[in-house]
A = this chain, B = another copy of it.
Amino acid sequence: MKVLPLAKLDKLLHPESVAIIGASPDKKKVGYAALRNMVLSGFKGRLYAINPKAEQYGEIEGVKVYASINEIDDYIDLAVVCIPARFIPSLMEELGKKGVKYAAIITAGFKETGEEGAKLEKKLVEIAQKYGIRIVGPNILGVVDTSAPMNASFAERSPIKGEVAFLSQSGALLTGILDWSCAEGIGYSSFVSLGNKADLDETDFIEALAEDEHTLAILIYLESISRGTEFIKVCKEVTRKKPVIVIKAGRSEAGSKAASSHTGSMTGADTTYDVAFEKGGVIRAENAQELFDMAFAFSFMPIPKGNKIVIITNAGGPGILATDAAEKYDLELATLSAEFKNELKSFLPPAANFNNPIDALGTALADDYGRILEMSLIDENVDGVIIILTPQAMTEGKETAAKIIEIRNKYPDKPIVTIFIGGEILGPDIYHLKKNKIPCFPLPERGVRAMAALAEYNRIRNRPIDDTIPDLERDKETVKTILEKVKLEKRNNLLGAEAIEVAKAYGIYAPITKLAHSAEQAATLAEEIGFPVVMKITSPDIVHKTDIGGVRLNIKSKEEAATIYEEIIKVARKHYPNTKLLAVDVQKMEKVGKELIVGSMKDSQFGSLVMVGLGGIYTNFLKDVAFGLAPLTESEAAKLLKRTKVYTLLKGVRGEPPSDIDAVNDTLLRVSLLVHDFPQIKELDINPFFVYEDGKGVSALDVKITIE
């Protein structure tokens, strides 16, 4: 699909020459608004207006109108397209011939309107690719870059110049956020409407903005992700340089997928996004308020070196609320040294609280705030400071704000977040803080959440580089042969013994399992394997074997094996009278271990998920499972089990010996390699999966594999 190197979208966000196609003098038209915005933006490049009625219009807003782009004696970096959808394909040919690099297609009426529109969209993408034009949109508000500066949008106004970029899949949301941000004092470096993402998508812009010196953080509103694997790959890189914060809408349209495996039934549509964001180091905002509160913090504050904060307050209650929130969001209250406390005691009243949160009491003056803030910023045990102020009788709002700004400038290396609870009295002070790039919030929890995001990003930025997928010994050929055979037989489900063989080929321990097609064969195989054995129905049509009485344990003799073969086949035939194949897997019976489930489920967007967690009868109800995306690195695999609650049990409790956690992790790596090597595997369940005492391994008792 992608024919051109990205070249960091430089000439899109910082073009030297821009043509507004469909520029209009009619103030109600998008073609007017786009031109006006370009003019008002202070764009310093060359700007052209295109309209067939060039002669009639002459100039619009001081910009000369040309009848066609061909009449311009200049190269064009960016064409902003405002003409009706049906004219755009032929326009694209023109742009292509002219050598235009980027087209921001504002016009709607494409994929979002149905099949006809989708065809039209496909057509214009084809033409664009032919000429190497990169498209933003169609169906967008436009593209704004405040450092260029340029505003190629039909928004009512320009965003304030700021430090964060905002990408949005909803143009209308952008208009609202723009209006709201102007009132709130939130500025943007770039402000991009992604629209239908016919060509350029979030991943392209993330990659480009990573290199943009004016952008400190990238905020994104997403409804879908176009290229899952690339998104993760790019984010993994970018989030070492700057934070990527996403709000993903459409959580509630969760998992209506038809899934036959346990793993599938436990995988919500949203699980994959969570796992993908984590793998990419993306911070996920829970709601729009959080997203923009984080924007404030990332715009103005440095990233802390850790999560130890000091809370300074002149009111107990808000201090407790902030402490609650700090715990919730994984911030730690720094332990104050005896020295620190003694210094506090030297100037605060005896009734003050000298522990963290530091309650300087209602009598705290600006100098008190300043002194504690300075002490905290100097203290190497403190990573960031949260300042809470309520307007009490003696409170010096204005002076305190000024003090904070002064000290902030003196010690710019640690983040400060302020929570000024007030409006009428504190209003001017809050304004003063924001104006001076100190994030200020009206209520405790919001400020703490924002600080927590800074600390979270510190962990993300400094996470160990972990890109090595262990190349474990495995027998690809065997698996390939089996999967091809299944495919040839037009089956989707592997038989039990086949699936066990696949697992074994990848070094996953499983008990010896042989397929029997008759009672006699079952008896012979059972004897060969050694008693006791387990016998299980096997058929491409039967998924839940236990439910129909198709699994029998602890079979101790040849005679028993033969009888049970017949019984199993009989009961299965009763439930599935029309199935083509009914046979029985004869398996060596293993001793009982702690019961886990291991599985995998393919996601159309991001590849295959790998799952591990509590097995047994509770699996589906308790959903004590964790997910990762294949291929797992060693440390990713090791992290999965740790996230489950059953992990505590496996570590060994109340005198019990620990379980063989290394063997579980090894299995996860092998499953990950298997589903990654063979993307045709749609679902995989190892259930039950027994884990034994440390050093004694694991056993995949039953393996189900479904292919596409």
Contact = CB atoms under 8 A, between A and B. Distances in A.
B172 A392 contact: yes
A170 B317 contact: yes
B315 A250 contact: no
A320 B614 CA distance: 34
Interface in A415-449: 421-427, 442-446
A687 to B, nearest CB: 13
Interface string A146-185: 0000000010110000000000111011011101111110
Interface string A304-325: 0000000000111110110111
Contact of A443 (B289, B351, B544): B289
B351 A113 contact: yes
A288 interface: yes
B390 A423 contact: no
Nearest to A648: B621
A5 interface: no
A292 B168 CA distance: 29
Given A315-B170, A317-B223, A649-B618, A324 B250 contact: yes
Given A179-B425, A442-B180, A251 B324 contact: yes
A424 B325 contact: no
A179 B617 contact: no
A424 B183 CA distance: 5
A375 B521 CA distance: 72
A263 B488 CA distance: 57
Contacts of A423: 179-184
Nearest to A292: B443
Contacts of A421: 173, 176-177, 179-180
A422 B155 CA distance: 13
Contact of A645 (B168, B622, B645): B622
Contacts of A230: none
A172 B618 contact: no
Nearest to A185: B423
A393 interface: yes
A342 interface: no
A317 B183 CA distance: 21
A392 B28 CA distance: 12
A173 B393 contact: no
B621 A176 contact: no
A315 B176 contact: yes
A113 B353 CA distance: 11
A324 B249 contact: yes
Contacts of A326: 252
A336 interface: no
Given A182-B424, A390-B175, A423-B184, A655 B321 contact: no
Interface string A649-660: 100011100000
A170 B30 CA distance: 53
B393 A154 contact: yes
A362 interface: yes
A269 to B, nearest CB: 12
B172 A316 contact: yes
B655 A547 contact: yes
Q: How many copies of this chain?
A: 2
Contacts of A445: 287-289
Nearest to A248: B324
Contacts of A175: 315, 390-392, 422
A422 B288 CA distance: 13
A318 B168 CA distance: 11
A172 B320 contact: no
Interface in A302-359: 314-318, 320-321, 323-328, 351
Interface in A593-641: 614, 617-618, 620-624
A469 interface: no
Nearest to A426: B179
Contacts of A250: 320, 324
Contact of A317 (B33, B172, B546): B172
A461 to B, nearest CB: 27
A708 interface: no
A252 B179 contact: no
Given A181-B423, A289-B446, A421-B177, A247 B393 contact: no
Contacts of A102: none
A30 B168 contact: no
A646 interface: yes
Contacts of A183: 422-424, 427
Nearest to A388: B176
A475 interface: no
A190 to B, nearest CB: 18
Interface in A101-124: 112-113
A14 B141 CA distance: 57
25 contacts: A169-B317, A170-B318, A172-B315, A172-B318, A173-B315, A175-B392, A179-B423, A179-B426, A180-B422, A180-B423, A180-B426, A183-B422, A184-B423, A249-B320, A251-B324, A251-B327, A252-B327, A288-B318, A288-B321, A614-B618, A614-B622, A618-B646, A621-B645, A622-B646, A623-B645
Interface of A: 28, 30, 33, 112-113, 154, 156-157, 168-170, 172-173, 175-177, 179-184, 221, 223, 247, 249-252, 287-289, 292, 314-318, 320-321, 323-328, 351, 362, 389-393, 421-427, 442-446, 544, 546-547, 614, 617-618, 620-624, 645-646, 648-649, 653-655
Nearest 9 A-B pairs (CB), nearest first?
A183-B423, A170-B317, A176-B421, A172-B315, A176-B390, A179-B422, A173-B317, A252-B327, A287-B445
